[in-house]
């Protein structure tokens, strides 16, 4: 009769690996979970607190100015007569006059849309300031160049990503 094979015990880790494993798990258990108070250094805004405060003031002042422009545009639009707004031309009006009125109405609507777009960009910039992500590119997460931010405080893309977006 042949001797019966005994089943081998499960493979054990070498002694050195066991010690490392125990040390690692002990460190993990002892250390409390860390949450970073702010983004890592490579993903922090390049702006100082003073610069952020100045830019916030600029954005808020620009927002007030744009809201005034928008109110004026809306007031002038609603002050126009119904026939002016609809493009209707009276029998004695010249065709050129009707074309001019249509052009002016389209221009005002275009300006109004641009003002609303700028207001939305300013609001997003202020929200990013509050969230601590202002000055970081929305696409790549890297800091936006200071000169770019100071020229356009509501900008949300670095130069590289803005150029890539405009090429599309």
The whole-angstrom separation of Cα 48 and Cα 51 is 5
Average pLDDT over residues 113-123: 95
Q: What's phi and psi for 136, nearest 5 deg?
A: -110, 140
Q: For the chain, give the mean pLDDT.
A: 76
Give per-residue pLDDT as tens, 73-88.
888 776 665 555 555 5
% of the chain at pLDDT higher than 90:
45
Least reliable range by pLDDT among 96-110, 116-130, 143-157? 96-110
Adjacent-strand bridge partners of 143: 136
Whole-model pTM: value is: 0.63
- DSSP codes of every residue in 43-96: GS-S--HHHHHHHHHHHHHHHHHHHHHHHHHHHHHHHS-HHHHHT---TTS-HH
pLDDT band, very low/low/confident/very high, at 38 (cuts 50, 70, 90): very low
pLDDT over threshold 50, residue 59: yes
Domain boundaries, the chain: 63-132, 135-168
- DSSP codes of every residue in 6-49: PPPPPPPPPHHHHHHHHHHHHHHHHSPPP--SS--GGGS-S--H
Average pLDDT over residues 49-55: 93
């Amino acid at each position: 009769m042949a001797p019966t094979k005994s089943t081998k015990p499960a493979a054990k880790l070498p002694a050195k690996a066991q010690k490392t494993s125990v040390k690692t798990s002990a460190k993990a258990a002892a250390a409390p979970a860390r949450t970073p108070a702010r983004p890592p250094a490579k993903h922090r805004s390049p702006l100082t607190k003073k610069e952020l405060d100045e830019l916030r003031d600029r954005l808020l002042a620009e927002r007030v100015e744009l809201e005034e422009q928008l109110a004026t545009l809306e007031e002038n639009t609603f002050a126009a007569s119904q026939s002016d707004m609809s493009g209707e031309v009276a029998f004695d009006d010249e065709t050129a006059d009707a074309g001019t009125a249509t052009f002016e109405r389209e221009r005002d609507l275009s300006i109004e849309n641009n003002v609303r777009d700028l207001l939305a960009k300013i609001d997003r910039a202020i929200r990013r300031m509050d969230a601590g992500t202002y000055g970081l590119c929305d696409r790549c997460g890297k800091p936006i160049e200071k000169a770019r931010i100071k020229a356009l405080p509501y900008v949300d893309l670095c130069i590289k990503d803005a150029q890539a977006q405009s090429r599309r």
